[in-house]
Structure 1
Amino acid sequence: MKIIRSVSYILCSLGLALALSGCTNETASLSPLPPVANGHYALGTGDEVRVYVYGLDQFNNATFTVADDGMISMPMIDKVPARGKSFSELEGAIKQALLDRDILKAPIVNVQPASLRPFYILGEVNKPGEYSFRPGMSVLAAVSMAGGFTFRADQKSVSITRAVDGKPVVGRASTDDPIQPGDQIQVFERWF
């Protein structure tokens, strides 16, 4: 009788170990996302910027959207490349366009974000969907905006799909990792 119980115990333990080995973390095979340069936000299609050019009233408080071709269309200077540029780099491009067209001798330009691309959160959060991005957000802040984790969520199993050099890259993320506009965050379900 003791031998049967021992064999039964061993078989149950082995079966449980095999069952649990099939329930691995969804992100275990993913590599971490490439780091984002601190303080460098790269403008992309759909971002809106507010431009102030001192001395030109038609520019003051005007908003411009980065088009699909990566340009913003502005009065008097036509199109200015914006995709991939930081706000200060876009300021420099606008200054140069004003100088090249002899519109101002010493232009003073200020570019600020008006509306940045949203991020998306899916999976085991209470309110999955599209949310407004704010600079400095982490995965945990994004989850909080989406109503928090569900009771089924594996809080350590999160992935982010992000466009890197124009190509989608999927990587593992922790709750402390920063997010970027356009990110697609996936929170996976825990098995036990």
Structure 2
Amino acid sequence: MTLPACPTHRMPRPSLLLWIGLLLLTMPQLLPAQGADYQLGPGDKLRITVFAEPYLSGEYIVSANGSVSMPLIEPVEVGGRTVQEAEDLVEQGLRAGFIGDPDVAIEVLDYRPFFIIGEVKNPGSYPYVADMSVLHAVAIAGGFTARAAKQKIEIQRDGDVLRSVANTTPVLPDDIITVKQRFF
């Protein structure tokens, strides 16, 4: 014998928290990949994976002229290109007579360094870290000295000088950060 359905005993609705959790799980697919705009350059260390071809997969360093040399193909010019563009170029090179339908993935293992000079405790060259800000760079360099003009920080980037940047300004590989000295 079955009991009649009671209107007050319905199946419980999924909680709002469950829906938010499901949304958060799908968010990475909706957002662009971090660093998708990053342009490769000399000194970047890459892991290039050619699926089903382990002898071609490995770690490669972008040379001073912006290219990567791999077995079987001519050097690939990746300098100034995004990771996705570099993957496409490597696939094109491999497709030209060696592998019918290559599948290539590239990951940046080590970025080019950034440089920080001026009124910081340990000026010098430091490894770049993704999503770094000026304040993070100063912290990596040991913090400000007592004579630092904390509001007078410049970044030299691609031949341009960005003056009086905020602490939240993003830092990129090859940037030269200068913390100016205060005079009073």
For 1:141, what is the secondary structure of its paired residue?
Answer: helix
Give the aligned partner of residue 87 of structure 1.
83
Corresponding residue of 1:111? 106
Contact 2:121 2:142 survives alignment (8 Å): yes
The structure, 1 or 2, with the larger RCO (C-alpha pairs under 8 Å, 6+ apart) is 1
The alignment partner of 1:78 has SS state of: coil
The 5 Å alignment of 1:56-71 reads 56-60=53-57, 62-71=58-67
Q: 2:71 aligns with which of 68, 75, 78?
A: 75
Which residue of 47, 50, 55 corresponds with 2:47? 50
Unaligned runs of 5+ in 2: 1-34
The answer for the alignment partner of 1:191 in structure 2 is: 183
2: distance between equivalents of 1:72 and 1:107?
Answer: 17
Identify the residue that residue 150 of structure 1 maps to in structure 2: 145
Letter in 2 for 1:81: E
Runs of 4+ in 1 over 6 A off after TM superposition: none
Q: What residue number does 1:175 align with?
A: 167
In 2, the alpha carbon distance for the partners of 1:39 and 1:49 equals: 15
TM-score, normalising length: structure 2: 0.77
TM-score in terms of structure 1 length = 0.74
SS of equivalent residue, structure 1 residue 179:
coil
Query: Residue 95 of structure 2 is aligned with which of 88, 92, 99?
Result: 99
Please tell me the root mean square deviation across aligned C-alpha atoms, in Å. 1.2
Instruction: Quote the Cα distance in structure 1 between the aligned partners of 2:119 and 2:89.
Output: 43
Over residues 116-150 of structure 1, what are the superposed CA-to-partner deviations in whole Å (9 max), with x where a residue is unaligned? 11111011111111110011100000001011111
- Residues in 2 aligned to 1:149 and 1:64: alpha-carbon distance in whole angstroms: 36
Tell me by how many angstroms 1:39 deviates: 3.6
SS of residue in 1 equivalent to 2:75: strand
* Aligned residue-pair number: 149
